[in-house]
Structure 1
C-alpha cells in the first residue's frame, strides 16, 4: 500500500509538473507577445509623432516666413496709404487753385466785357469825351493811347489767367491720375495683406490641430507605456521562477572582432527623435550580415519583429538575466530554442529605428536595463 501510495504521489507530481511548466511557458510567451504588440503600437505612434513634429516645424517655419511677409505687406500698405493721402491732398489743393483761377478769369472777362460794351454803346461819344476832356491834342492822344493800352492790358491779363488756368487744369488731371494709381496700389496692398492674414490664420489653425494631435498621441503613448511597464513587471515575475536554475552566465562578446562603440549605454539625444532619452543598450557597428553570437546559454523567449528594435532576439539566461539583440537583418533562432554561449542567433542589420548597420545589445536584470559591457571586463 505504501509503495502504491508513493507511486501515485510520484505520478501525480510528474503529471502536475508536466502541466504547470507548459502553462508557465505558454503564459510567458503570450505575455511577451503582448509586450511585442505594445512595442509595435508604440513604434507606430512614435512614427506618427515624428511626422507631426516635422509638420509642426514646417508650419512654424511657414508662419515665421508669413509673419515677415505680413510685416512687409503692412509697411507697403502704410506707404501706399500715405501716398494716397498726399495725392488726395495735392488734388484738393490743385482743384482749389483751379477754382480760384476760373473765378479770376471770369471776373476779368466780366470787367473786359463791360469796358468793351461801353465802347460799342457809346461809340464816337467816348472818343469825343476823351477829346473834350483833353486839354490839347497831345493830351487827347495820350488819353486815347492810355485807353487802348488799358483794353490791351486787360486782354493780356485775360490770356495769362487762361494760360494759368490751363496749366492748373492739366496739373489737376495729372494729380488725379496719380491719386487713382495710389488708390489702386493701396487696394492691391490691402488685398495682399488680407490674403497673408488669411493664410496665417489657416496655418495657425493647422498648428493648433497638429498640437492637439500630438497631445492625443502622447497621451495614448503614455497609456501604452504604462501597459508595457505592467507587462514587463509580469515578465519579471514569470522569469523569476527560474532564479534558482541559472542556465548560463553572460560572458561571450556577441560580435567578436568589432569592438567600436557608436552609442554607449546611458542618457543621450536620440538620433531619430532628437529627444533626450535613456539608451538601454550599447550600439556596436558591424557590416550587414555579420553573425551575432549568444552572450550566454539560455532559452530564446522572443524572436521576431519587436517595435523600434526591428528584428530582435531575447534570451532568458535564468536568474533574472536576459539579453536582447536588436536591428537584425535576419533572425537565426526561434522561440523555445535552447542556445549555448557563442552560438549564432542572427545577423547584423538595420531594421526598426536604425540609422545604419549595427547591433543594439542589451542586458537586463529582473527586467531592468544595465550596462552590458560590464560583463566583458
Structure 2
C-alpha cells in the first residue's frame, strides 16, 4: 500500500517540476529578448554618437583644411612683407650713403673755398681800386671784375646747390624711414596673424585627434554590442527550441496576415549598410501601422511560448509554429492568449497598441527561423 502511494506522489512531483521548468524557460526567453532589444538600442545610440562624431570630424577637417590654406596664404603674405621691409631698409641705407657722400662733397667744397678765402686774405683784401690799378685799361678792369664776381657767385651757387641736395636727400631719407617703419609694422602684424593661425591650426588638429579617438571608441563599442547581440540571438534560438519541444507544435507554416485590412509598413525588415561604420545593422521585424484596439491574428497554427510584458516590446506574444519557425507580436494593448495555449491560424491573440518602446500605435511583427530573424513579408508575397 505504501508503495502504491509513493508512485502517484512521485508522478505528481515530476509533473509539478515539469510545469515549473516551462515557465522558467519562458521567463528566460522573455528576458533574453528584452536584453537583445536593449542591446540593439544601445548599439543604435552608439552608432548615433559615432554618426555625430563623424559629422563633426568632417566639419573639423574642412575647417582644418581652410586654416591650412589661410596659414599658407599668411606665410606668403608675411614673406612679401619681409621682402618689402628689406627693400625699404636697403633704400634707407642707400639714401644714408648718398647723404653722407653729399655731406663729404659739401665739406670738400667748403674747405676749398676756405683755402681760397685764406689766400685772398693772406695776400690782402682785393678791392675795386686794386683791380682798377692792376688793370691795363677800363676793359681789362671790367673783365677782371666780372671774373671775380662770377667766381664768387659760382662758389656760392655750388655751396647752395650742395646744401639743397643735402636737404632733398635728408628729406628723402626721412620719407624712406617712414616707409621702412610702416613696412616693419606691417611685417609684425603679418607675423602675428601667421602665429595666430598656426595656433588655431594646432588647436584644431588636437581637437580632431580627440574626435578621432572618440570615433574609435564608438567603433569598438558598436563591435562589442554587435558581438553581444549575436551571442544573445543564439541564446534565444536555443530557448525557443527548448520551448518548442515542450508542447504541441504547428505545421511550420505561416499563412495569415496578422492585421487584415492594414498594410501600411512604417518600418520594414532589412539589413542595411551603415553609412558611417560601413557595418550591417538589422531592423528585426516589420512595423505595421494600425489603430489601437485593432485585432491581431495568429499568423499560423502553433503554441504560445511567451505571453507577457517586455520592457522593449511592451505586451508581447511569441508563438512556436513548429519546424523551428516562431512569430513575435509586440506593443499590444492587450493579450488574449496565455503561455502554453495552442492556437489556430487566424485566431485572435491580442490587440494593436503602443506599449513598451513605441511612439505610436502599430504592430511589431517578427518571424524567426531557428531563432534567427527573417523578413516576414516573404511569407506574404501578395
Give the TM-score, by structure 2 length: 0.79
User: In 1, are the aligned partners of 2:26 and 2:305 still within 8 Å (CA)?
Assistant: no
Write out per-residue CA displacement over residues 64-89 of structure 1, whole angstroms, 9 at most, x where no aligned residue. Answer: 22122212212221221121122112
- Which residue is 1:218 aligned to? 219
Contact 2:106–2:162 at 8 Å: present in 1 too? yes
Q: CA deviation at 1:295?
A: 5.8
SS of 1:242's equivalent? helix
Distance 1:181 1:257 in 2: 84
| Correspondent of 1:277 among 264, 276, 280 | 280
Q: Name the SS for the 1:64 alignment partner.
A: helix
1:371 matched to 2:375? The reply is yes
- Structure 1 partner of 2:153: 152
Contact 2:289 2:361 in 1 (8 A): yes
CA distance in 1, matches of 2:83, 2:267: 62
For residues 23-82 of structure 1, what are the alpha-carbon distances to aligned partners after superposition, in whole Å with 9 as ceiling and x for unaligned?
222322333343344334333333332332232123212212212221221222122112
Aligned equivalent of 1:88: 89
Corresponding residue for 2:24?
23
Which runs of 5 or more residues in structure 2 are unaligned? none
8 A Cα contact 1:250 1:296, kept in partner: yes
CA distance in 2, matches of 1:65, 1:178: 33
Shift of 1:139: 2.8
In the alignment, the residues of structure 2 paired with residue 349 and residue 75 of structure 1 have an alpha-carbon distance, to the nearest angstrom, of 65
Following superposition, the deviation at residue 284 of structure 1 comes to: 5.8
Using the alignment, how far apart are the partners of 1:59 and 1:110 within structure 2? 74
1:133 and 1:322 map into 2 onto residues whose CA distance is: 147
Partner of 1:296, secondary structure, is coil
- In structure 2, distance between residues paired with 1:8 and 1:21: 20
Q: Judge which range, 73-82 or 254-263, deviates more.
A: 254-263
Cα distance in structure 2, aligned partners of 1:136 and 1:118: 26
- Superimposed CA distance per residue, residues 65-124 of structure 1 (whole angstroms, 9 cap, x where no aligned partner): 212221221222122112112211211112211221222222222222332343344334
Q: Which of 297, 313, 325 is the matching residue for 1:321? A: 325
CA gap 1:118/1:252 in 2 versus in 1, 3 angstroms: farther
Deviates more, 1:356-365 or 1:234-243: 356-365
Q: Counterpart in 2 of 1:179?
A: 180
Q: Aligned partners of 1:139 and 1:349: how far apart in 2?
A: 136
Q: After superposition, where does 1:280-319 map in structure 2 within 5 Å?
A: 280-281=283-284, 286=289, 293=296, 296=299, 298-300=304-306, 304-306=310-312, 315-318=317-320, 319=322
1:183 to partner: Cα distance: 0.8
Separation in 2, partners of 1:26, 1:134: 148
Are the structure 2 counterparts of residues 261 and 231 from structure 1 closer, same or farther at C-alpha, using a change threshold of 3 Å?
closer
1:317–1:351 CA distance, 2 compared to 1 (3 A): closer
Distance 2:336 2:54 in 1: 37
Q: What is the Cα deviation at residue 151 of structure 1?
A: 1.5
TM-score under structure 1 normalisation?
0.80
Q: For structure 1, list consecutive stretches of 5 or more residues without a partner in the other structure.
A: none
Q: How far is 1:190 from its partner?
A: 0.9
The two structures, once aligned, show a CA RMSD in angstroms of: 3.8
